[in-house]
Structure 1
Amino acid sequence: MSSTSTKSIQIKIEGMTCAACVSRVENSLKKVEGIQDASVNLAAEIAQIELTTDVQDQQIIQAVNKTGFKIKKCATIKLKILGMTCAACVSRVERSLLKIPGVLAAQVSLATEIASIDLLYPVPVDQVIERIERSGFEAVLEQQTITALPNRELESKKILKHFIIALVLSLPIFIIEMGSHLLPSFHHFIGTYISQNQSWLFQFILATLVIFIPGRHFFTQGIKSLINLHPDMNSLVSLGSGAAYLYSIVATFFPSLLPQQSVHVYYEPATLIITFILLGKYLEARAKGRTSAAIQHLIGLQPKTARVRVSDLQTKDISIDKITIGMQVEVRPGEKIPVDGVVISGEGFVDESMISGESFPIHKLMGSEVVGGTLNQNGFLVIETKHSSENSILSSIIQLVENAQTQKLPIQSLVDKVTLWFVPVILLISMITFIAWLVIGPEPNLSYALINAVSVLIIACPCAMGLATPMSIMVATGRAAEHGILFKNATSLQKLREISTFAFDKTGTLTIGQPAISHIEIFAPFTHQQVLQTVASVEYHSEHPIAKAIVQYASDHHIKMIEISEFKSISGFGIQAQLNGQDIKIGSVEFITRENAKISHALSHHQRLLDEAQTPIAVSIDGELASIILITDQLRPETYEVMAQFKKNDKHIALITGDHQNAAQYVANQLNINAVYAQVKPHEKLNIVETLQTRYGNVAFVGDGINDAPALAQAQVGIAIGSGTDVAIETADLILMSSNLNNLSKAIKLSEMTIRNIHQNLFWAFLYNICLIPIAAGILYPLTGILLSPVLAAIAMALSSVFVLANALRLKTLKLN
């Protein structure tokens, strides 16, 4: 009888549309050996599965994938991982996490020290943390608040303290051992008062203090990793420094165990290895702190308190965490706006550059939306809050940047595979070096064997390879955020430079998105007053920019709205409604004339209106043509320069819009765009993007509306204008917080420079190891007599990571304009 126990899990499945889909999924799951029952809820998109504990998650995933549907993650856990030093550590944590039942995917960033874990079904956090701790690392739950950030300052201060201790203790050993070369007279003076045995005993005491105080971390972590058969950088340091230290102990206290010519002590390299590597780690921690400066800056924008109105004459300062939706908050001149909201009283100019990258203050009036963290330069504002601090735009921006920083580029997978075997290979090379020098090396061969084997262990640097990609991504995404450019994932950062074709929506993307009425043509028997009141009353219920322009025009002309019924929006065409028993249609000419020959005939007499380089909006009342309203929208001033730059860089440009052909062609002529697709429906935009991909390769689509969402999703890189709809922003890979298209040029330049920076880092990291490891092994000795000291190896190893970090930090000073 089997002792296998059973359990019940729930998984999320997307894409199901009907009962047939449900049956297909249930049948596929039930075919998996070990699954006793499967019940799928179509409305909730959840599958309830009863199964034995020996069923693997991959079997469930494959069963669902066979049906053509996809499994959705149920949640994401974020953990702060303490103690990682190199890419081998990252690989070890990821492999450990992926062995946990219920973990769908795991990504660990060495730069941010954050593990992002996607769950197939709920898994206790304690179980995840326990598995990480069994791998030799500490893990704590990353708080999902706006104030949560790794404290690099404390980390760097701790390392600096250990470095100073190691330096103070190592310096006397260095002076004693190297004094004969640097200060012969001083060395002779010491030699007359202290015997060699006393000197070695003194060095032993100092070296022991270095090993067990500042160097303790390397040994505890390194030995633990060796025992777990997952050696890392700490293992290399502990073996290298420990071998020199133990050899010196034998030479000090048991010299008879060694050949006479090999009785030497190596306390100096044993201690200086730790000292210089601590120096490197301190510089690394400081550099990592600078890479997260963008996030720290964003977090620093959030005020700690808000001045909340409790009555007309009374206010109270309360913590930002206690702000709820609907509260009224006062903001005085020079103060930061504490939370997202709407101005209900007062006016002023608000500096939003820290969020959108826009350099000019924005005039805020009653009804204007404001963003938490921005600066009220002048004027007194009363704001009604729209979001809590946890759900604010600023918090979302920080979350987006952090998510992008923890993700990996495809090239990182190759690096991870190399680093997985890097340390074991170094251990093998060190062993071969020791044996080779012991067998064929000159006298004292044991000393030569020890020194060169230790040099190989110390000079090898998996850290540089592990940091090469994530540090550049971390700096670049932070730098982008400073300019109001938000990469939602690291892959889009890489893909943007590979784009050959940019497809643009027109309204709100190439134009300023503030359409205005330029002309209204009224047809008998209808009157101007009647048509304007009818159109405005219907359009009042629409969110389209043109609708808002019409409503504003009516308001400016003191037109009163009246009640309507049966409002219906037909995406890509127009809207229809009932008003006082009349059937109202407003939209494109195609929409109004559909199945109405009478209106088609009437419009044929007014072709001049349709030939204008403007957007015609036709209005029908009870099947009669009532009006044609011409809408114009100005091009963004920077659009000319941006398009010219794209042409100069041999980029293909396409205009894809639902607007009238003449209006679209007018814009295309102004911007020298050859490919124009007008009067396009939302689903047709997706088809056009597919066609462009087939013809030109990688395509980016830039848009801002709900009808752009399918095209944004289809493109290799979907780019949403920050002033656009939530749907567009949710679908996009890249968000431009400002509507200024210069930010698109900045994003492309940053993408190009980031990938170049990553290639430089990887080239250096691999070249360093390929060239210096053979030199450390003594390959130059037969030709030049040159050997690399373990101390110099430690300095080189420490500086290799610092070089990668310094190179990544160059992206902070990159001029994007």
Structure 2
Amino acid sequence: MSEEKQSHEWILEGIDCANCANKIESGVAKIEGVTNSNANYMTRTLSFDVDKQKENKILPLIKSRINKLEPEVTLLSKLTRFPIGKDGLPLDENKEISHLEDSDHSHEKDHEKNNVKTILSRLIIALILLFVANFVPMNEMVSIGLFVAAYLVAGYDVVWSAIKNIINGQVFDENFLMTIATLSAFYIQEYPEAVAVMLFYQVGEVFQGIAVSRSRRSIADLMDIRPDYANLKLADGSTRSVSPDTIKVGDTIVIRPGEKVPLDGKIITGASSMDTSALTGESVPRSVKITDSVLSGFINKNGLIEVIVEKLFSESTVTKILDLVENASSRKAPTENFITKFAHYYTPIVVIFALVLAIIPPLVLPGATFNEWIYRASIFLVISCPCALVVSIPVGFFGGIGAASRKGILVKGSNFLEGLNDIKYVIMDKTGTLTKGKFEITSIQPASGWSKEQLLELAAYAETHSSHPIADAIKEKYEERIVENRITEYNDISGYGIQANVDEKEILAGNAKLMQKYNISFTESTEIGTLIYVAVDKEFAGYILIADAIKEDAAEGIALMKEKGVKHIIMLTGDSKAVGAAVAKKLGIDEFYAELLPQDKVEKMEEIMARKGPKEKVAFVGDGINDTPVLARSDIGIAMGGLGSDAAIEAADVVIMDDKPSKIGTVMQVAKDTRRIVWQNIILALAVKGFFLILGAFGFATMWEAVFADVGVTVIAVLNAMRVLKK
């Protein structure tokens, strides 16, 4: 019997490095009964699953383990924002709560500014002490004392963290490496260099922190679509500003010009234009009127509208999108997992090599001194920090996910973003994906003696009492008001069409069999689509062609995917072969399968999956409503989210919010840009570190170069990773 799991998500308030997040993730994962441990440095969250029956025993162990690994980190419940107590559960409002940093965005920015100011003040004091000790004539012991004071002012937190980590059994991190390296410099009486290196390291850490924070805030600002309030309409007609999460389904809200739409609903009064760019990436406003749906996250541009709420705030589009973007980087890409494992082994190996470098050469090489080789070993230790890798790579993927969201594309994880690079087969549903999924009149062909307007009017009156989608398409095209008393007789002939008397004339509207049934002479069309033939008093008046119109950018989307490296684009449809062939030919699709039932689509997917190479991926693109089995079976499921379809958002790995097929090529380009930047950072970091490791081993590099190889490269790599947001 499988154990029932309970999911938890905690905020890691105060986590300041990717390596610390990795330590927490691996430490929590080792606790028996814990699965899916994931510490996300970019969102500063820890998610994990525990055995529900043992939850009361496991949660306190997790809390204790994190406190031991990272004592400076404060744990908050993601759901309630209350601190986690000793029992591993969030404290409630009635318990005494010690002072805790508020986690909102503005306070966080102020807190970061204060931290930067404090560190810079310390570094200025340390710099002054270093200058005095190095350049002002004084007693040697006083000078050494000032060097020690400058060192402690600049780096006491680094040394203290190293000591605590050693006590807790966590040796190989940047604090330990920097402490041992600088203390080694003190040991060989290189006092100015030891202090200066600690200063430079701390300055680099400040810049690294600022760069990472900017990256976080860039994406937070990008997704700043959460509404602050909603104008609830009261029974007396007045309005009151309330929190969106207090609004109930069926309530009426008022949205004024310039305000965000706070909840999903339908317009009951007014008309306006909506800025949908935050959700769809589209810069052109969308016109809306009574009965149209609007989504939370839209911005009302001009008119005053009233909306009846159809979803709670917790189920609204904006909440789902924000949760998806925030949690996307918890699904790590293979590159991220590889670098985490690489750093886990790389650092201890370099430390062991540094120890060998400090001891063996002085014992073997003639004239070699311990001081010289200890100095070289210290350089090795500084260079071995894997910060540039473990920080810049998550920043790169996080930035890629943010860049996609800016374009109205939701990618549910770094693994899916990286997987988009390997797509060679794209299988596309037709209806709702390549076509609009809505019947429209595409052609009106009147017979001699009739006009298009007359033919449309006759067909609209004939279809007045029909609820068929084809009838709806005709009535929607005929924009005049239908006068019911003009119709004196109405007969629905099943399988043929409609017979009606309009203005005392017999109107026949239906398929070719209806014309043949009444022996009406007509010219049968070979156009692809649904044909409605119309006759008046047994004389042919013309025909109307109704089809599921192809999306404007469908052909562009197909061409763009081929340009991005997709080898095979395959269309699946339940329509007839004639319709499938016409659409495939028009869009440039070489392979299609028609007249398929839903279960047939899964079989075709299995056949295509068997054709792909070991490193190739298959993507399925559908509307996310009736294509769930195929979306789930594909390597990457891409859904046309449309107006925030719940099924689309739930089923797919990538959601196109505005239904445009061309966005598939766009997100593939974002994935390629992200991968290129990530690998630029990997190559840069390893090349610079390798170069300076060799220089250090042969005595050509100083501590200054070593710190640049660590902190300097990290800052450059983080700034490079942020470029993907500008793409």
Match of 2:31 among 100, 112, 116: 100
State the match for 1:235 in structure 2: 176
Q: Summarize the alignment of residues 196-595 of structure 1 with structure 2, pairs less than 5 Å apart.
A: 196-210=140-154, 215-231=155-171, 232-245=173-186, 247=187, 264=189, 266-298=190-222, 300-436=224-360, 438-439=362-363, 445-517=369-441, 532=463, 535-536=466-467, 549=473, 558=482
Match of 1:128 among 62, 68, 73: 62
Q: TM-score, normalised by structure 2?
A: 0.81
Matched, 1:716 2:635: yes
Offset from partner CA, 1:168-198 (integer Å, 9 cap, x none): 23324543576xxxxxxxx5xx43xx23343
Matched, 1:651 2:585: no
State how far apart, in whole Å, the 2-side matches of 1:404 and 1:438 are. Answer: 52
State the match for 2:677 in structure 1: 757
Amino acid at match of 2:36: A
Offset from partner CA, 1:448-485 (integer Å, 9 cap, x none): 24422322222222211212431111100011111111
State the match for 1:612 in structure 2: 527
More deviation, 496-505/649-658: 649-658
Matched, 1:636 2:580: no
Question: How many angstroms does 1:502 deviate by?
Answer: 1.8
Q: Summarize the alignment of residues 16-165 of structure 1 with structure 2, pairs less than 5 Å apart.
A: 29=1, 73-80=5-12, 82-83=14-15, 85-87=17-19, 89-121=20-52, 123-124=55-56, 125-137=59-71, 138-144=73-79, 153-154=109-110, 156-165=112-121
Question: How many angstroms does 1:422 deviate by?
Answer: 2.9
Question: How many angstroms does 1:769 deviate by?
Answer: 2.9
For the residue of structure 2 that corresponds to 1:406, the secondary structure is coil
State the match for 1:42 in structure 2: none
C-alpha distance 235-198 of structure 1, shift in aligned 2 (>3 A): closer
C-alpha distance 390-384 of structure 1, shift in aligned 2 (>3 A): same
Question: How many angstroms does 1:108 deviate by?
Answer: 1.9
Question: How many angstroms does 1:808 deviate by?
Answer: 0.6
State how far apart, in whole Å, the 2-side matches of 1:227 and 1:585 are. Answer: 83
Offset from partner CA, 1:38-63 (integer Å, 9 cap, x none): xxxxxxxxxxxxxxxxxxxxxx57xx
> Residues 485 and 737 of structure 1 are in contact (CA less than 8 Å); yes or no, is this contact kept in structure 2?
yes
Match of 1:175 among 131, 135, 142: 131
For the residue of structure 2 that corresponds to 1:288, the secondary structure is helix
Offset from partner CA, 1:133-164 (integer Å, 9 cap, x none): 23335252353489966976346424423442
State the match for 1:660 in structure 2: 576
> Residues 435 and 551 of structure 2 are in contact (CA less than 8 Å); yes or no, is this contact kept in structure 1?
yes
Question: How many angstroms does 1:653 deviate by?
Answer: 1.7
Offset from partner CA, 1:102-131 (integer Å, 9 cap, x none): 322112233333222134436355443222
Question: How many angstroms does 1:361 deviate by?
Answer: 0.7
State the match for 1:590 in structure 2: none
> Residues 133 and 143 of structure 2 are in contact (CA less than 8 Å); yes or no, is this contact kept in structure 1?
no
More deviation, 740-749/226-235: 226-235
> Residues 86 and 233 of structure 1 are in contact (CA less than 8 Å); yes or no, is this contact kept in structure 2?
no
State how far apart, in whole Å, the 2-side matches of 1:111 and 1:443 are. Answer: 50
For the residue of structure 1 that corresponds to 2:724, the secondary structure is helix
Structure 2: gaps of 5 or more residues = 82-102, 446-457, 485-491, 498-509, 534-542
State how far apart, in whole Å, the 2-side matches of 1:667 and 1:140 are. Answer: 56
Question: How many angstroms does 1:601 deviate by?
Answer: 12
> Residues 416 and 653 of structure 2 are in contact (CA less than 8 Å); yes or no, is this contact kept in structure 1?
yes
C-alpha distance 600-173 of structure 1, shift in aligned 2 (>3 A): closer
Structure 1: gaps of 5 or more residues = 1-28, 30-59, 62-71, 179-186, 248-261, 522-526, 540-544, 561-581, 588-598, 619-627
C-alpha distance 669-396 of structure 1, shift in aligned 2 (>3 A): same
State how far apart, in whole Å, the 2-side matches of 1:114 and 1:95 are. Answer: 14
State how far apart, in whole Å, the 1-side matches of 2:440 and 2:312 are. Answer: 35
Question: How many angstroms does 1:238 deviate by?
Answer: 2.2
Amino acid at match of 2:528: A
Matched, 1:687 2:603: yes
C-alpha distance 610-692 of structure 1, shift in aligned 2 (>3 A): farther
> Residues 437 and 448 of structure 1 are in contact (CA less than 8 Å); yes or no, is this contact kept in structure 2?
no
Offset from partner CA, 1:549-571 (integer Å, 9 cap, x none): 478579977599xxxxxxxxxxx
State the match for 2:658 in structure 1: 738
State how far apart, in whole Å, the 2-side matches of 1:176 and 1:403 are. Answer: 50
C-alpha distance 549-75 of structure 1, shift in aligned 2 (>3 A): farther
State how far apart, in whole Å, the 2-side matches of 1:228 and 1:325 are. Answer: 52
Note the aligned Cα RMSD (angstroms): 3.7
For the residue of structure 1 that corresponds to 2:232, the secondary structure is strand
State the match for 1:23 in structure 2: none
Offset from partner CA, 1:711-747 (integer Å, 9 cap, x none): 2222221111121743233211100111222221210
> Residues 435 and 548 of structure 2 are in contact (CA less than 8 Å); yes or no, is this contact kept in structure 1?
yes
> Residues 333 and 416 of structure 2 are in contact (CA less than 8 Å); yes or no, is this contact kept in structure 1?
no
C-alpha distance 695-443 of structure 1, shift in aligned 2 (>3 A): closer
Amino acid at match of 1:345: T
> Residues 342 and 385 of structure 1 are in contact (CA less than 8 Å); yes or no, is this contact kept in structure 2?
yes
Aligned length: 654
Question: How many angstroms does 1:603 deviate by?
Answer: 8.9
State the match for 1:594 in structure 2: none
C-alpha distance 528-74 of structure 1, shift in aligned 2 (>3 A): farther
> Residues 512 and 524 of structure 2 are in contact (CA less than 8 Å); yes or no, is this contact kept in structure 1?
no
State the match for 1:678 in structure 2: 594
C-alpha distance 143-615 of structure 1, shift in aligned 2 (>3 A): farther
State how far apart, in whole Å, the 2-side matches of 1:488 and 1:392 are. Answer: 17
State the match for 1:10 in structure 2: none
Question: How many angstroms does 1:493 deviate by?
Answer: 0.8
> Residues 511 and 633 of structure 1 are in contact (CA less than 8 Å); yes or no, is this contact kept in structure 2?
yes
State how far apart, in whole Å, the 2-side matches of 1:617 and 1:487 are. Answer: 43
For the residue of structure 1 that corresponds to 2:203, the secondary structure is helix
C-alpha distance 316-115 of structure 1, shift in aligned 2 (>3 A): same
Q: TM-score, normalised by structure 1?
A: 0.72
Amino acid at match of 1:240: A
State how far apart, in whole Å, the 2-side matches of 1:617 and 1:135 are. Answer: 74
C-alpha distance 457-517 of structure 1, shift in aligned 2 (>3 A): same
Amino acid at match of 2:315: N
State how far apart, in whole Å, the 2-side matches of 1:419 and 1:352 are. Answer: 42
For the residue of structure 2 that corresponds to 1:344, the secondary structure is strand
Amino acid at match of 1:275: L
State how far apart, in whole Å, the 1-side matches of 2:580 and 2:50 are. Answer: 46
The percentage of counterpart residues that share the same residue type is 27
State how far apart, in whole Å, the 2-side matches of 1:617 and 1:678 are. Answer: 23
Amino acid at match of 1:111: M
